[in-house]
Copies of this chain bind each other. A is one copy, B any other.
Amino acid sequence: MKVGVFDSGVGGLSVLKSLLEARLFESIVYYGDTARVPYGTKDKQTIIRFSLQALEFFTSHRVDMLVVACNTASAYALDSLSHEAPFPVIGVITPGVLATQNKLSSKDASILVIATKATIASNLYAAKLQENGFYNVKSLATGLFVPFVEEGIYDGKPMQALLEYYFKGFESPNALILGCTHFPLIAPALSAYFGKDTILIHSGEAIVEYIQNTYHLSTHHILHSLEFFASDDVDALKHTAKLWLGNLYMP
């Protein structure tokens, strides 16, 4: 089975890593719209337009399924993509909500959603959590973590100052939803800030669980092909892929 992984840039590599670890697919095509990244600061119509252009790419590559790794594209373009695509399209938001539900023992649990400005403005995480009975939900746009991760700043004083800037006044939640594919890279800093009792919800792990439960795919496939494409310089994407994926990288 051939899956496409779509992201606005390199962030979706954290989702790709989970898919590779789970060995759900024989063939994977990753496309990052790195020439136009980030999406999270941009308008809804722009995000939909860019996502539909990416769909043409995946259609021409004859994928059997498309994973939208980007939370912002999942928030705004999933309906349009599902409507146009001749294959299933899976976003990260519903899987993230289900994973949160599975990991919390009480509906009274406190949940903090962090994501880009656009994803938070969509209110989709909070709305879906409420549909599932969770009302103790706060949402916060923490978009500056994205360029920090892109610059390779995962900790140290600037990261500490940014954590305090965003989270001062917030109590440690029972669950923290990492509503942006860049955020797993700063999971250690977030855990250190909020403490070990806060459960972190990671889009990659959530989507693997969701695909397994929904499509009953086995998890012992041998990967035959892993291809990378980008709208900006693809070598820069491959360079980051090597760093993020480690020995899971296959050129």
Contact = CB atoms under 8 A, between A and B. Distances in A.
A157 B148 contact: no
B151 A156 contact: no
Contacts of A231: 46
A173 interface: no
A236 B251 CA distance: 40
A11 interface: no
A70 to B, nearest CB: 15
A237 to B, nearest CB: 10
Nearest to A148: B144
Interface stretch (A57-65, A86-94, A158-166, A208-216): A158-166
Contacts of A225: none
A52 B32 CA distance: 22
B164 A157 contact: yes
Given A36-B35, A160-B161, A161-B158, A150 B41 contact: yes
Interface of A: 34-36, 41-43, 45-46, 50, 143-144, 146-148, 150-151, 153, 156-158, 160-162, 164-165, 231-233, 236
